[in-house]
Chains A and B, each alone.
Chain A
């Protein structure tokens, strides 16, 4: 790892990090602070929302009496979507922006190997995503401690956060591979939103319609959801992330570097 480049990446990504983390944290504060008002409304709200829609969006209003049941409804959709879009778009841009901003000629003529550039950038990417996720998690825990008076299912909260974290790392690696295989793209937001929302809705449709359950199995959100925790899924998607990064490095090592 090259410390000089690592520090530069942190500095360069500061604005992006602050915006996305700020949105996730702001949303976390808002939804948890509203919990006392929503706590007892869950069952009534549940009657108003079609069962299929509730399933599609992980809404289980009957569980709102306990904070983790309420929190997962919003964490599983809004916060995870925000953080996975951030992770995937950041993964797609961290290497490719050197070419799109035409600074690659400067960077790649320094005495640093392509592998070291790639690995340093990936390390910075994973560190920044981890930091963003950690801040969101700490804020959520702090808010829960402040707002909730009764018992909290900490285990459930920990498991959904761990699933969410692995999802973010996985989508970051997907972004890295996107940037290596999609040519001539300067803004990756389209493909990123497409793949993140697309796989999320595969999970939603599959969960809502019993006959289409198999569709949900095509989505990482199915295995790393907010209800169930499978250690094997953690191992599988962490391995997949590492393989994607390795694939990205292999492609990167053999390509011409643009101006």
Chain B
């Protein structure tokens, strides 16, 4: 079953394109990554899904229900963590979380204390006095407080220190085990790599690829480091990218059949060679080139 399904979803801002013809399916229980640089359309897509923006064309279904039909009913089952946290000045985190809880039918109020302790957040401090990171902690608590079926997270870790990031990831893994589906938008690939099963890459408002993270990592791409006795003129085979010589050491990315690479290596007078799995960032940058 798909928890989120976008069908040709587009949003224009006047003549500027926000997102264009997005088709996506996110399955129940999945942790789905949404990767793209700043301004690629990640937030526009999320804000359209949530009903903040009216789509120019296309539609989307969340939990089988169209976003245009009673979106408030859908939002009962969604936890949303925005990239920029803006809350009401004059309220403490506790007041904000109680106010948030007031919009839902059943929220365990004790959970506010538990999560406040987990994230080391002073719940009684006024929101305007909180640092960006602490505001983010308040937003994290708010996003999970009402036990949503889907979590939509937009750049969720900005402002969090590594310890809190780790606690946040553990919380997400726990929520996911309980059956919560997670839509995780970020430009930090290590986060996507750690959490997600699949990811979509968005570029200039369009989806350039939807890939299984594991198979993306296992693609025929390799990072290679060859060490020679001396630098020499080489005839590169097809698939060699970004070759850089540093003294007698050659580094490059390779996309293509491994047997061709090995055959080429045989013909070279190599002193040493290292072939590595590329990290997601390298693969991702490859999509952009």
Of residues 200 through 216 on chain A, the ones whose CB sits less than 8 Å from some CB of chain B are: none
B88 in complex: contacting residue of A12, A108, A110, A116, CB < 8 Å: A12
- A254 to B75 CA separation, bound complex (whole angstroms): 18
Complex: how many Å from CA A132 to CA B216?
64
Contact with A along B43-77 (1 / 0, CB 8 A): 00001001111100000000000000011110110
Residue A18, interface by CB 8 Å:
no
Cβ contacts under 8 Å, A113 to chain B: 70-72
Q: Mark A91-125, 1 if CB is under 8 A from B, else 0.
A: 00000000001111110111111101000000000
**B52:A111 contact, CB within 8 angstroms:** no
Main secondary structure of the interface of A (DSSP, over half): loop
Instruction: Produce 1/0 per residue, A116-138, CB < 8 A to B.
Output: 10000000000000000000000
Q: Does B264 contact A (CB under 8 A)?
A: no
User: How far in angstroms is the closest Cβ of chain B from A214?
Assistant: 42
A contact residues around B53 at 8 Å (CB): 256-257
Question: A142 → chain B, closest Cβ, in Å?
Answer: 33
Q: How many residues of B are counted as interface, with CB atoms below 8 angstroms from the partner's CB atoms?
A: 25
Chain B positions within 8 Å of A183 at CB level? none
Point out the residue from B70, B86, B88 that lies within 8 Å of A105, measured CB to CB.
Answer: B86
- Complex Cα distance, B51 from A259, in Å, reads 12
In the complex, are the beta carbons of B52 and A103 less than 8 A apart?
A: no
- Indicate which residue in B52, B99, B104 contacts A8 across the interface (CB closer than 8 Å): B99
Q: Determine if A4 is an interface residue (Cβ-Cβ < 8 Å).
A: yes
A255 on the B face (CB < 8 A):
yes
Cβ-defined contact, A4 with B86, below 8 A: no
**Are B73 and A111 closer than 8 Å at their CB atoms?**
yes
Flag if B54 contacts A255 (CB, 8 Å): yes
Given contacts A101-B86, A103-B87, contact A112 B52 (CB under 8 A): no
Q: Is B100 in the interface zone, CB < 8 Å from A?
A: yes
| Bound Cα distance from A255 to B53, whole angstroms | 7
Known: A105-B82, A109-B80, A256-B53. A4 touches B71 (CB 8 A): no
A4–chain B nearest beta-carbon distance, Å: 4
A106 near B87: Cβ-Cβ < 8 Å: yes
Give the complex CA separation of A259 and B44 in angstroms.
11
- For A12, the chain B residues whose CB sits under 8 A away are 88
Contact with B along A231-259 (1 / 0, CB 8 A): 00000000000000000000000111101
CB-contact partner of B84 in A4, A112, A254, A259, under 8 A:
A259
**Does B52 contact A105, Cβ atoms closer than 8 Å?**
yes
Cβ of B110 within 8 Å of any chain A Cβ, yes or no, is no
Chain B residues, CB < 8 A from A254: 54
Q: Of residues 164 to 209 in A, which have CB atoms within 8 Å of B's CB atoms?
A: none
Q: Does B102 contact A (CB under 8 A)?
A: yes
- Write the nearest CB–CB distance from B102 to chain A, whole angstroms: 4
The chain A residues found within 8 Å of chain B, CB to CB, are 2, 4, 8, 12, 101-106, 108-114, 116, 254-257, 259
5 nearest CB pairs, A to B: A4-B102, A102-B86, A111-B76, A110-B103, A111-B75
Give 10 new A-B contacts, CB below 8 A, not counting A105-B52, A111-B76, A113-B72. Answer: A4-B99, A102-B84, A108-B52, A109-B50, A110-B75, A111-B75, A113-B70, A114-B51, A259-B84, A259-B86
